Structure 1
């Protein structure tokens, strides 16, 4: 019953083609939401639309091709949402990535820039445009959720310091958005979910040139599943309007760091 107020409402989910983003889309559709799922590989989202549990769900999933490094594509997506649905009630910034061997002393500038464009700039633009639509429609109980990382809370050795820096920035930006919303007497809430190790394509992409290392990483202990993070999203959405969850850290029981 706690999810009943979200039935028929519109959600935007970035990075919706696989892993955590795909699972969030499945859960939101199951709970009756109209979900705009975006990614560069839109065919994978179309395949999710054909899954029996998605086809038979109360809600619906609309696949949109969108490259978050290109502001014009993001703005075009939100203009289409405005024309089709009129508003957005929920924005989940799930898209994010890292590249290996991007140390601060010897890192590649283009790699840094790509991470900034997706992990920070794309997230900011999607959040700004979502809140703009919420405010245009006098939606005072909207929700923004950033799928961040435990890397927003500590910097570990191993070449991921720049990635960690982008996630620290996401945490700061969430607080910045929250402060500005409160200053304008808005009830729109902003939350971060910071997962530890999750069994998704993240490590396969990170170690695309060393698949053996990717397999070793995911076999260390029992990782979280994408479904676990999707359930954390539902926990946030189930809260009453007077409860503002700001940050959830979730990691495998066996993860030592």
Structure 2
């Protein structure tokens, strides 16, 4: 481990190859973090590493399947071996399921959503908790990607809604269990950030009254800015829950 690595703060972003993860990784790099990039696809991670290097920034790509305990363990073993510590985890990787009646939804879609959005988030939080507990100085920050669906559902989104309610419970447990070890946990609930996956919402989303309507969107960089703000706070202060949303989206008053 080099002297530069000892002086730099280390952040890990899961789901870093695209969307919110990619924009957030770029923001943390701008803030001076060394950023470890985790995701299932190696190519976009390596592209981001090259982009960072061209600006004199340091990123490390570690292709990872967050639903696989061995893959997650290998990711954190690499972080500990390379840098000796982890200061911030942005637990971002997640998937959705088709918006259809639950009795028509293939069970494999239920399991895939829960495996990524709950088990994957737990596995990464668990490994980060262990490393942050062992390292010196002890402690660190875990930031979970929640959703407005952690508060209220959209029609026909039971798997995703259940998963994000579970993330809220995990965030609160981490915030409590981490106190003794200077480990701080936060959750950022996101509403309608424009990414490759959410672009379809600009053409119409099923509403609670049965109609389909386009919804206002916001630039994903506002989510990245929220993560950056939380990541920059000292471990003596925290934002436990934050909602970042397109101002006019149908959330307040939903239902």
- The TM-score normalised by the length of structure 1 is 0.86
Matched, 1:196 2:191: yes
Q: Number of aligned residue pairs: give it.
A: 239
Q: 2:202–2:216: 8 Å Cα contact kept in structure 1?
A: no
Q: 2:141–2:235: 8 Å Cα contact kept in structure 1?
A: no
Matched, 1:243 2:230: no
Q: 3-state DSSP class of the match of 1:250?
A: strand
Unmatched tracts of structure 2, length 5 or more: 1-5, 206-212
> Structure 1 residues 83 and 20 mapped into 2: Cα distance closer, same or farther (>3 Å)?
same
Q: 1:64–1:77: 8 Å Cα contact kept in structure 2?
A: yes
After superposition, residues 117-156 of structure 1 pair within 5 angstroms as: 117-156=115-154
Q: 2:216–2:246: 8 Å Cα contact kept in structure 1?
A: yes
Following the alignment from structure 2 to structure 1, what is the Cα–Cα distance between the partners of residues 53 and 122? 31
C-alpha root-mean-square deviation of aligned residues, in Å?
2.1
Counterpart pick for 2:103 among 78, 90, 105: 105
Q: 1:81–1:87: 8 Å Cα contact kept in structure 2?
A: yes
Q: 1:97–1:115: 8 Å Cα contact kept in structure 2?
A: yes
Name the structure where strand makes up a greater proportion of residues.
Answer: 2
Stretches (4+) displaced over 6 A: none
Q: 3-state DSSP class of the match of 1:50?
A: helix
After superposition, residues 67-78 of structure 1 pair within 5 angstroms as: 67-78=65-76
Per-residue CA shift, 1:162-202, capped at 9, x if unaligned? 210000000011101111122xx222110000010111122
In the TM superposition, what is the alpha-carbon distance from 1:215 to its structure 2 partner? 5.0
Unmatched tracts of structure 1, length 5 or more: 1-5, 205-212
Q: 1:194–1:250: 8 Å Cα contact kept in structure 2?
A: yes
Greater displacement, 76-85 / 117-126: 76-85
After superposition, residues 177-196 of structure 1 pair within 5 angstroms as: 177-182=174-179, 185-196=180-191
After superposition, residues 203-218 of structure 1 pair within 5 angstroms as: 203=198, 214-217=201-204
In the TM superposition, what is the alpha-carbon distance from 1:222 to its structure 2 partner? 4.0
Residue 209 of structure 1 aligns with which residue? none
Per-residue CA shift, 1:6-35, capped at 9, x if unaligned? 971111110000010001111111111111
Q: 1:120–1:166: 8 Å Cα contact kept in structure 2?
A: yes
Matched, 1:80 2:78: yes
> Structure 1 residues 246 and 99 mapped into 2: Cα distance closer, same or farther (>3 Å)?
same
Matched, 1:162 2:149: no
Q: 3-state DSSP class of the match of 2:193?
A: coil
Following the alignment from structure 1 to structure 2, what is the Cα–Cα distance between the partners of residues 102 and 61? 39
